[in-house]
Chain A
């Protein structure tokens, strides 16, 4: 029994050193050397392209109706027949209608992470007229901007095509 105990402690400590320190530190070293930008969080001057932000007003493309609080990620978790969810969706629909937009489902339903950085191309296209009007830009120019920002799916079939909201807004700010 004592021998089992001694072996257990030795193995636990050895594997803690090997898998808990050696492995993650080695991955950190190699990954930082090979992919320095990604390893540090894909950060640009205005934030991370992977972590969504809240956008207000008709002059910007909006993302999902998420809280966008990176220190507290997670979904809203409201059930499929939740009264609270129905009330939230009704309020979001009304807000979009006030902006003159007929939203897609994605624009009134929260994401899984609460930080979704992307929307589908369709969700971007329905906002084009709103953004063009607010910025006094030709609708065609804004539409072409969105077209140029459609990414994926990976390898042509993995996942869904998306528009990154931060990237499209960064381009939009530079559009004359």
Chain B
């Protein structure tokens, strides 16, 4: 009952976000929002950017890549020089080179894979100036790319796809900062910590327990971690930590924040291409897949923990509670982790490694589909549009006509770029997993034996390749091998898709629009939604079924066996 009401509340809030935030983002990216121009204009002046001047796709891409490179170098430098920088009350030393590389790439690519425990590795300065900043910048870059491809569809015969600097500045100032500020205060009211005072030392006279309790500016980072679908928490326990996610209310607000922008962007997309129904169709495909995997995971986690059953714990009426917090219960934990793995956020409020085999499979599924249901901020939309192009292509093959999408003829070049964008993630993830399971540096890092150990390795590379960042966290991936390989995985998973998307954007913007005719395959109908869902499932299954059968499926079908 409580769970049904929670879902209902979430759906109502997301419907409002879809309509209101979606329309607001149209205004922001079309330059019709001005209420923060007193922050915006000085920034353009400092950058030497004329907001009225747009870029072609090559320049847009060059700006994005160079900016990302500078961001990685700056983050790396801040982490390496941590000991010399202020706000370091615990006197933490410099972050080691391999870990600093992995972390810098991780936060710049919106992955937020964490090979460190925040409370014992990162100073307040590193948390704020190195990491929280990228929690704003990386989703802003994702939104910029999404808006660029939307413009590609919306424009005809245009050489320009927008101005990268303007898109990023507007995303941060008008969308991410104001929402984060408001929700950060709500999180503090609920119990999330927000202080620079350093750790607290307590001594409980009742039980003789002494504790050193780490503190930090948590709430401010927590909120943008969710809103920007980043996922990198200030503490090792991430969203399970009571200082990050103190109550049932913050738990649902977290879920709302991480779904809000990816969902609302489908409205922005529909409005900007001139048909809200087109955005609705994309959202419908996302929703079907999301709801399906949520149902699988909730059903699986209602079952008992197999190892506890084997140990003689007969009654487990609440479901598999291993690795889950009492205040969230099974339903609140599963909803959070599913929302997080399907949005490329990767924060967790319960231990993914301790899910039942099918529950763990459902967490992997969102990533195996390419994190597009609804996916990360910006990245979810631009990646699912690649699948949409593949879908109209397959539809076109069936009826023997040149496919069209949103009035643009989809020809050889567009299909090649879309196929490249769709395939780059699976190829990278599978090749790197094969390497990792073949050498001791890869297999030595796992905690659990047998198929669960394989799942830990596969999940790590799948998560980083999708810029998700969640983990089967038994793996000890803070090794030179995993830090370096993970960094490569994240870079390819991010920019290997962004570059084809921006190229596509340029190609589409230059094209003329063809008027729809009676023979046009409509892309705003349930038929198209069904076909799109089918294509996404098919690509995911064809690429990842063998790998998934070595991990979760082996465990599911090994009745009563322990490893």
Contact = CB atoms under 8 A, between A and B. Distances in A.
B354 A80 contact: yes
B66 to A, nearest CB: 4
B413 interface: no
A112 B207 contact: no
Given A39-B194, A160-B328, A86 B129 contact: no
B213 interface: yes
Interface centre among B181, B247, B357, by most chain A C-beta atoms within 10 angstroms, is: B247
B320 interface: yes
Interface stretch (A13-21, A129-137, A141-149): A13-21
Interface in A57-107: 60, 64, 68, 70-83, 85-90, 93, 104-106
Contact of A55 (B5, B71, B207, B211): B207
Given A19-B177, A31-B188, A162-B326, A80 B356 contact: yes
Contacts of A81: 306-307, 357, 450, 452, 555, 558, 561-563
B269 interface: no
B27 interface: no
B552 to A, nearest CB: 9
Contacts of A41: 193, 195, 200, 213, 215, 243
Contact of A79 (B206, B224, B242, B354): B354
How extensive is the interface on chain A, given as a class?
Answer: 35 or more
Interface in A126-176: 152-155, 157-160, 162, 166, 169-170, 173
Contacts of A21: 128-129
Contact of A115 (B237, B304, B333, B447): B237
A6 B312 CA distance: 65
Interface centre among A3, A31, A153, by most chain B C-beta atoms within 10 angstroms, is: A31
Interface in A40-59: 40-43, 46-48, 50-51, 53-56
A105 B211 contact: no
Given A90-B312, A154-B249, A28 B351 contact: no
B252 interface: yes
A75 B473 contact: yes
B291 interface: no
Interface in B1-44: 1-2, 5-6, 9, 39, 43
B106 interface: no
B220 A23 contact: yes
A94 B63 CA distance: 63
Given A38-B191, A157-B6, A90 B311 contact: yes
B384 interface: no
B96 interface: no
Given A46-B204, A90-B311, A160 B326 contact: yes
A78 B180 contact: no
Nearest to B135: A19
Contacts of A118: 325-327
Contact of B308 (A75, A76, A86, A123): A86
B242 A15 contact: no
Interface in B480-520: none
Contacts, number: 382
A112 B349 contact: yes
A39 B67 contact: no
Contact of B325 (A6, A80, A111): A111
Contacts of A73: 117, 119, 235-237, 240-241
Contacts of A75: 237, 240, 323, 350-351, 353-354, 473
Contacts of A4: 62-63, 66-67
A159 B449 CA distance: 33
Contacts of B312: 89-90, 93
A19 B195 contact: no
B243 A11 contact: no
B408 to A, nearest CB: 29
How extensive is the interface on chain B, given as a class?
Answer: 35 or more
A74 B305 CA distance: 19
A123 B209 CA distance: 22
B133 interface: yes
A80 B357 contact: yes
A77 B562 contact: no
Contacts of A31: 184-185, 188, 194, 219
Given A27-B219, A77-B353, A155-B249, A11 B452 contact: no
Nearest to B124: A24
Given A38-B190, A160-B332, A19 B63 contact: no
A83 B117 contact: no
A112 B356 contact: no
A92 B502 CA distance: 56
A54 to B, nearest CB: 6
A79 B189 CA distance: 35
Given A42-B191, A162-B327, A1 B215 contact: no
B63 A77 contact: no
B537 interface: no
Interface stretch (B45-53, B152-160, B385-393): B45-53
A7 B206 contact: no
Contact of B195 (A5, A20, A39, A109): A39
Interface string B301-332: 00011111011110111101111111111001
Interface string B416-431: 0000000000000000
B195 A32 contact: yes
B49 A93 contact: no
B306 A153 contact: no
A111 B249 contact: no
A83 B313 contact: no
Contacts of A104: 318
A82 B307 contact: yes
Interface string B158-173: 0000000100110010
Given A27-B220, A152-B247, 17 more contacts: A4-B66, A5-B66, A9-B70, A27-B194, A40-B193, A47-B204, A50-B191, A71-B212, A72-B117, A72-B119, A79-B555, A80-B305, A83-B563, A111-B240, A114-B237, A116-B242, A116-B327
Closest 9 CB pairs of A and B: A159-B248, A112-B240, A79-B452, A75-B351, A20-B129, A73-B237, A77-B474, A89-B311, A158-B248
11 contacts: A7-B165, A23-B181, A73-B240, A76-B323, A80-B305, A80-B360, A112-B333, A123-B326, A154-B247, A159-B249, A170-B206
